[in-house]
Structure 1
């Protein structure tokens, strides 16, 4: 008992630092909060002394936390147990506490361990050639997403107050067309923002109940899936791949018919195909609908049309019809039905005039 009493005295003298706070300290239980000033990184360590401690048995460790995953707590408990067993016959409480503090300090990404494991599992399931690298020293996750010969690379920095604050995305680079690079950059930031900021139109009760959620997995999963699928997408008009097989042959001139356009329903078109489709009849009253055979999994339509418009569009489609059927809309293609009809009529009139001239000359 004298040995334990002396060890308890050392614990009281050394556990009043910034990284730890002593809650309970007696022969029955030692309870200490690690990083008490950082609620999103805090962890509680409970230590108990077995009867034959420290000669034959090591100190008993139990970890509790509201922010770290159960898998992390189980793994860290195992490591602390092994560390304690290496010091049988000696005071072990301060040793295992210092070990835990050092582990959490050296591995800041352990706050998002579950998300990282899920991302790696996704890569494995899809036999993806994408890569995920961890930079513990800078608390960053580096992702290189690949689809065919195309890639999208970015770095996600995990802030100290994660998940209350969203990850910071930086260092984006890609060999995809600029229109798709801008989409990936903008949408990934928006996904991360939505995880920590409540929607503008929320009732008081909903706003009071809003809690920030983890943003790493959701954001990087989007980047992985979108990059993986781009090179597989077919133009809904000509049914040919939108992107060429080799990135170096991508058309950069936004006046070229092969230039890639992305519309708000999420589908990709060749610019020439889209122009032709929008310029030819019929011209329905509500505007032309996307002719794609199925809805796009990453559509922007809900955000720019609203939930009511989406429901209305869906009701117009047959229940067994999986076509997209969403109104075609794009920043560069805002044309009213009357304008489209007038342009078509003018084009037809010119064509008839040319045919009459040809007939006269013949």
Structure 2
């Protein structure tokens, strides 16, 4: 019996017993094909092994990796690592050794399944030119983002489930020195983006529903948190044109009745509360209600760009040029006032002002 035939016989007998989560598909002297994690389609990989000439004395075993889950970048890099590892076993049987190495690598590095997304996030951080950071925790299958904008920070941890990408990442551990209204927005919108990646819309045609496929949610949800946090400290109040957030987080107004308390309206723009009150309470009072006077549509007024679709393709996307005003009706839970009521209040205020001026003139 030749060396290769003997190794193949031994491999067939020991593979599934010694290397967990493996299943032999083909085992012959011309080709060995084994599936790793066949019981977990979202983590599976196929390892193909071939015996070249002069094996194993001067040439290591040939390895080819295949997967519908892992990126080509990962497959190429892991193949290189296996080749380097196999060189240590020249003159010895290598098939079982390299298979065990590949299986252990996938077990020790569960975040391999989202390697491409992690690379994209790191590129996003570099492009943004901020001090934001991305920390990988393989043991906990989690990615921690520390997003920074000015002196403001938002920290969030995305846990990657075993069934990823069929199931979205779980966002937890959020911490921030931003105002509460913006933290609630970041928490809620990032979770909604992740949900939309794996759940079809409620109103969807049968044909569209049949074609719906979950997409990866890690990069989409964390990119939103990264970009929003980076831009908050530069946003300006559409009324007074000064930055909405103070330079130092400790100067944030926490009194919800104060003029400099920060409000976020439905279109996404930020206002000083005093500016918003003044704008809504003064004429003109258009029939359909006042529109947001910001100079352009807010880039995060919906989740389209984070779902891999441009804003130009969505039903809610802006069709106006960037230099046009936002034009979306001003709405907020605390400012639900009809046009008729606003006009009546303005008229009453003006009447009181005239009465006060008459009294002053009389006393003089």
- 1:161 aligned residue (127, 150, 163): 163
Q: Distance in 1 between matches of 2:245 and 2:98?
A: 56
- 2:182 aligned residue (163, 180, 183): 180
User: Higher mean Cα deviation, 125-134 or 232-241?
Assistant: 125-134
Number of paired residues?
354
TM-score normalized by the length of structure 2: 0.94
Is residue 2:60 matched to residue 1:39? no
How do 1:141-156 residues align onto structure 2 when only pairs under 5 Å count?
A: 141-156=143-158
> Unaligned regions of 5+ residues in structure 2, if any?
305-312
> In the alignment, what sits opposite 2:225?
223
Give a deviation string over 1:92-150, Cα, whole Å, max 9, x none: 00000000000000000010000000111111122220011000011110110000000
Contact in 2 for aligned 1:163/1:213 (Cα 8 Å): yes
TM-score normalized by the length of structure 1: 0.95
> In the alignment, what sits opposite 2:310?
none
> Unaligned regions of 5+ residues in structure 1, if any?
none
Secondary structure of 1:138's partner? coil
Instruction: Give, in angstroms, the shift of residue 16 of structure 1.
Output: 2.8
> In the alignment, what sits opposite 1:258?
260
Give a deviation string over 1:40-66, Cα, whole Å, max 9, x none: 000000000012110011000000000
> In the alignment, what sits opposite 1:52?
54
Contact in 2 for aligned 1:195/1:215 (Cα 8 Å): yes
> In the alignment, what sits opposite 2:82?
80
Give a deviation string over 1:161-219, Cα, whole Å, max 9, x none: 10000001111000000000000000010010000000001111111111110000000
Secondary structure of 1:32's partner? strand
- 1:328 aligned residue (321, 327, 330): 330
Contact in 2 for aligned 1:265/1:301 (Cα 8 Å): no
Kindly tell me: are residues 141 and 308 of structure 1, through their superposed partners in 2, closer, same or farther at Cα, counting changes over 3 Å? closer
Superposition RMSD in Å: 1.8
Contact in 1 for aligned 2:292/2:330 (Cα 8 Å): yes
Instruction: Give, in angstroms, the shift of residue 308 of structure 1.
Output: 10
Q: Distance in 1 between matches of 2:104 and 2:73?
A: 18
Q: Distance in 2 between matches of 1:345 and 1:205?
A: 55
Large movers: runs of 4+ above 6 Å:
none
